[in-house]
Amino acid sequence: MKKLNAPPFDIKDVRFLRSKLTDVPTAQNLWKRSDGKYGNFKKNVTTTMKAAQSKRCAYCGTRLFEERPHRDHIAPKSPHFRWTFWPTNLVLACYCCNVDCKGETDTVAVVAASYRRTTFTIVHPFLDDPADHLDFGVADNAILISPKNGSAKGAETIRLFNLMDPERAKERAKDVLFDEDVEHLHGLTRDMFLAAAEELRGGRVVMKT
Ligand SMILES: [Zn+2]
């Protein structure tokens, strides 16, 4: 969950897609389409965001193994149909985060005239820096996560995505110990994460695989 930069999309295409969004059912139907501009946009999201996210889930940071990972609308299509094809409203997420945890949860706190000014209840992958909201530490063969300085967004992100689940905390530790691309770890603030990994490697925690 490193802060992501807005992906490069053709603004004319985005405007065209946006102009078709009149209500929730229309948005849901248009999102299902795979022809023309609709299909191209979705393909672009997958290709662009796979690279931008280093093939990591935007919310929990675990590796995305699927060829075509889930595309998640950060603000859900219902009720926020206007942002169905908005590039910074779309990220790739693992099944666990996208389906099991987030589902149709409305993550918008206050709607504003523009997407950029809208506020969210969770750490937003494009608008927020996770380093401001989340802290990491090591204990019991796992990498723990906690809200930074009492951040409400951090707390809600941890709650919604079940990030303190013991299995998820162990998965993070395995990632950092055995992945070759630890430098690109996503979902975690790199420096803090590497410091936690040093602690693990230093023998204070013995990993069992
Ligand atoms: Zn995830």
Q: What pLDDT, in 10s, does the model give residues 168-182?
A: 888 877 776 666 555
Residue 91 lies in a domain: yes
User: Within this chain, do residues 168 and 72 fall inside the same structural domain, yes or no?
Assistant: no
User: Within this chain, do residues 15 and 101 fall inside the same structural domain, yes or no?
Assistant: yes
Q: What does the alpha-carbon distance between residue 119 and residue 186 come to, in Å, rounded to a whole number?
A: 23
pLDDT digits (tens, 9 = 90+) for 118-128: 999 999 999 99
Ligand 1 centroid vs 29 CA: distance in angstroms?
26
Dmax over Cα atoms in the chain, in whole Å?
58
User: Within this chain, do residues 143 and 164 fall inside the same structural domain, yes or no?
Assistant: yes
Ligand 1 centroid vs 157 CA: distance in angstroms?
11
User: Within this chain, do residues 55 and 73 fall inside the same structural domain, yes or no?
Assistant: yes
Q: Which residues surround ligand 1, an ion (CB under 5 A)?
A: 57, 59-60, 94, 97
Ligand 1 centroid vs 12 CA: distance in angstroms?
31
pLDDT reported for residue 208: 42
User: Within this chain, do residues 160 and 188 fall inside the same structural domain, yes or no?
Assistant: yes
Ligand 1 centroid vs 9 CA: distance in angstroms?
24
Query: For residue 184, is pLDDT > 70?
Result: no
Percent of the chain exceeding pLDDT 70 equals 83
Residue 141 lies in a domain: yes
Full domain range(s) for residue 199? 130-204
Tokens of 89: 């409203």
Ligand 1 centroid vs 93 CA: distance in angstroms?
5
Ligand 1 centroid vs 18 CA: distance in angstroms?
27
More reliable by pLDDT, 194 or 113: 113
Query: For residue 1, is pLDDT > 70?
Result: no
Q: What does the alpha-carbon distance between residue 124 and residue 134 come to, in Å, rounded to a whole number?
A: 12
Q: What is the DSSP letter of 38?
A: H
Q: What does the alpha-carbon distance between residue 153 and residue 13 come to, in Å, rounded to a whole number?
A: 32
Given 84, 100, 120, which residue is the final one in a domain? 120
Ligand 1 centroid vs 140 CA: distance in angstroms?
22
Ligand 1 centroid vs 85 CA: distance in angstroms?
21
Question: What percent of the chain is helix, strand and coil (3-state, nearest 5)?
Answer: 45, 15, 40
Q: Name every residue whose Cβ is closer than 8 Å to that of residue 154 and which is 6 or more positions away in sequence.
A: 123, 133, 134, 135, 146, 147, 148
pLDDT reported for residue 66: 83
Ligand 1 centroid vs 171 CA: distance in angstroms?
11
Ligand 1 centroid vs 110 CA: distance in angstroms?
24
Given 120, 144, 168, which residue is the final one in a domain? 120
User: Within this chain, do residues 22 and 46 fall inside the same structural domain, yes or no?
Assistant: yes
pLDDT reported for residue 181: 57
Q: What does the alpha-carbon distance between residue 38 and residue 59 come to, in Å, rounded to a whole number?
A: 25
Is the previous residue joined to 79 through a cis bond, with omega within 30 degrees of 0?
yes
Residue 125 lies in a domain: no
Collapsed DSSP state (helix, strand, coil) of residue 21? coil
Residue 5 lies in a domain: no
Q: What does the alpha-carbon distance between residue 15 and residue 124 come to, in Å, rounded to a whole number?
A: 22
User: Within this chain, do residues 89 and 134 fall inside the same structural domain, yes or no?
Assistant: no
Q: Share the mean pLDDT of the chain.
A: 86
Q: What does the alpha-carbon distance between residue 49 and residue 92 come to, in Å, rounded to a whole number?
A: 7
pLDDT digits (tens, 9 = 90+) for 41-96: 999 999 999 999 988 899 988 888 888 899 999 999 999 999 999 999 999 999 98
What is the mean pLDDT of the segment spanning 130-147? 84
User: Within this chain, do residues 68 and 137 fall inside the same structural domain, yes or no?
Assistant: no
User: Within this chain, do residues 108 and 196 fall inside the same structural domain, yes or no?
Assistant: no
> Is 176:56 a contact under the CB 8 Å cutoff?
no
Give pTM, 2 decimals: 0.84
